[in-house]
Amino acid sequence: MFVFTIPISQFISVRLLVILLLVSFFVKSRGDSFFSFIKNSWDIILYLSTLAIGLIYSEELSTGLNVIETNFSFLAIPVVISRCPAVDRIKLNEIFRAFKLGLLAASLVCLCFAIYHYNQKPDIQFFFFYKFTDAIHSHPTYFAYYIILVISVELFNLFYERRGLEATFNYVTILFLFLLLILTGGQTAFIGILFVFSFFILKFLIEEKTTEKKITVGFVILMLCCLFLISLAEKQFLLIEFNDSWERAVLWESALSAIPNVFLGVGTGDYRTALNDYYTSHGLLQFATESYNSHNQAIQILFSNGILGLLSFGFMIIRPLFLAIQNKNILTTLCFFPFLVYGMTEAFLGRYQGVVFFALLHQVFVSTMLTEKSFSTDLLTEK
């Protein structure tokens, strides 16, 4: 239920996570739950420790505590998973299925509200970006990445596994979500899905060409053509503005220039005040009024917590990719690569939606790969 509600409601999902955490302490768990927690989550523990250290030299303690609260999922999800039976591919598929159903439910709610509002007051903007996702109080950028994840996994299953009636349902799901991605996604989302499409085309060129792969790649190429037609329509007709790449370079430069100490940063709680002071002193009043962050996750963590924070963030990103390469787990690489794209234009760990999404994917994929590695080692030992 917690995973199901992540795309639907931030309000509900965070409360379910608190309940889940409390309940996990009263159920029978694995004997090695503490060891499992450390083994699966040492990089997350390092990141949270960095944020806690940043509180020591923060003047805005209340803001710093709000940051810790936003990152609550980084503690709760690893603890819950460590006390559950080992996560394998079957449980991973169950988690993904719950997330997919939640995303479809959230999408239908947004679409129904958009149609209702359009009937009340004809305005095409009800079907795009903030107005479209306002029904579930969701940020369209993160909602678009939820969509990218589900499309990626569904295409992966079709490319390698699914057949028959279930495959038909998967194609319909992908087509529906792709339409919503066009409505909610800006250029960052388009670049993210472009890399996903490129992955399947390249895999098709170098692997054995089965009928299922041919159909899947044909479907991918069709969607890819739609993306280029949309970009062409944006430039030629300017019917709707899909461009979310406003002056991010100025934000990046501002955050880098405003760092007083590259080793420590400004502190977990002082990032907003320090950056707004820089905006104000350099005539960037609009950015100060809106209290923009740097819109780059690496720069943002460097600005607030210095080099130690940047290293801890790097470990969290690199570790699942390293395990994926080690275990030859293609799906993990496919799901985590768009985080690199989003990290270039968004500080995705600054919102609950980004934190809970990253924490969930990080822990279930890392736990699954460590379980598979342990199982393989046991088999070799027996032999």
Q: How many residues does the chain have?
A: 383
The pLDDT-based confidence of 237 (bands split at 50, 70, 90) is low
Roughly what angle, to the nearest 10 degrees, separates helices 164-184 and 211-237?
Answer: 20
The pLDDT-based confidence of 368 (bands split at 50, 70, 90) is very high
Structure tokens at 102: 């939640």
Buried-state track 81-108, b at ≥16 Cβ within 10 A, e below 16: bbbbebbeeebbeebbebbbebbbebbe
pLDDT digits (tens, 9 = 90+) for 135-160: 999 999 899 999 999 999 999 999 98
pLDDT digits (tens, 9 = 90+) for 65-110: 999 999 999 999 999 999 888 888 889 999 999 999 999 999 999 9
Name residues whose C-beta falls within 8 Å of residue 383's C-beta, 6 or more positions apart in sequence: none
Structure tokens at 16: 């379910």
Q: What is the spatial distance between Cα 44 and Cα 333, in angstroms, rounded to a whole number?
A: 19
pLDDT digits (tens, 9 = 90+) for 188-204: 888 889 999 999 999 99
AA letter at 192: G
